[in-house]
């Protein structure tokens, strides 16, 4: 585990972490409701959910925990933010999809859900990376590979093309939203991170931001 920051720093950072992860989960749920395409990992999670009947967010929690196992040979250390990421995002996704109807017919509303969801995900990502309490499991996998000499952009493309292909075969939703997310969320996060971070952006945080977009 990464060392805990001083208590007064935890009091300052934890609320921003919780808000960031909540926004992230809500944004993913908005993309699901739009039915215009999901991020590669969520295509994978949705495909497994369709095949198994396990709720989408719960699949994300299980997958996140399994990805953490892959950190071991990379020497990555999770933080409290990493563990919160694994659990909280999935809970928010499942609760949101329980509350809101999934039969949105209006194309305008679906586009609003898609674009609004991507923006909210970027804001949430900037908040949780900006508190410096540990990366998400998937971002940490990519930055860990980067620390071993694999370019982050190459690692991200290889991993996400793989999970996207598997998710598509399993029945996950691939569409225009998948493309917009892939090329749009990275620049948004990199723009927002310095504005949402609690302090100067560290090289590690910059690497985590680059792990969210194909522009890296």
Residue-wise pLDDT for 171-187, tens only, equals 999 999 999 999 999 89
Q: Tokens representing 34?
A: 């739009």
The arithmetic mean of pLDDT across residues 52-63, rounded, is 98
Element (H, E) at 112: helix 107-130
Rounded to whole angstroms, the Cα distance separating 145 from 125 reads 20
> Which pLDDT score is estimated for 204?
78
Rounded to whole angstroms, the Cα distance separating 23 from 121 reads 6
Query: Do residues 104 and 110 make contact, with C-beta atoms less than 8 angstroms apart?
Result: yes
Helix intervals (H) in 131-211: 137-147, 152-170, 176-196, 203-210
When pLDDT is cut at 50, 70 and 90, the band that residue 3 belongs to is: low
Rounded to whole angstroms, the Cα distance separating 141 from 194 reads 22
The arithmetic mean of pLDDT across residues 20-29, rounded, is 98
Where is average pLDDT lowest: 62-66, 106-110, 129-133? 129-133
When pLDDT is cut at 50, 70 and 90, the band that residue 215 belongs to is: very low
């Amino acid at each position: 585990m990464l060392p805990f920051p001083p208590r007064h720093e935890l009091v300052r950072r934890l609320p921003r972490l919780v808000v960031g992860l909540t926004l992230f989960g809500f944004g993913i749920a908005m993309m699901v409701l739009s039915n215009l395409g999901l991020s590669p990992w969520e295509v994978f999670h949705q495909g497994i959910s369709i095949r198994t009947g396990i709720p989408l967010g719960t699949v994300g929690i299980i997958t996140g925990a399994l990805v953490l196992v892959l950190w071991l040979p990379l020497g990555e250390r999770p933080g409290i933010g990493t563990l919160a990421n694994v659990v909280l995002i999935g809970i928010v996704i499942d609760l949101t999809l329980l509350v809101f109807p999934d039969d949105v017919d209006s194309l305008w509303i679906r586009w609003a859900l898609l674009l609004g969801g991507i923006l909210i995900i970027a804001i949430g990502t900037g908040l949780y990376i900006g508190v410096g309490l540990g990366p998400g499991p998937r971002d940490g996998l990519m930055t860990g590979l980067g620390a071993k000499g694999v370019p982050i952009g190459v690692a991200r493309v290889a991993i996400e093309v793989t999970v996207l292909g598997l998710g598509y075969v399993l029945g996950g939703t691939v569409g225009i939203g998948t493309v917009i997310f892939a090329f749009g969320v990275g620049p948004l996060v990199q723009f927002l991170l310095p504005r949402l971070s609690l302090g100067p952006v560290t090289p590690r945080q910059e690497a985590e931001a680059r792990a969210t977009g194909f522009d890296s």
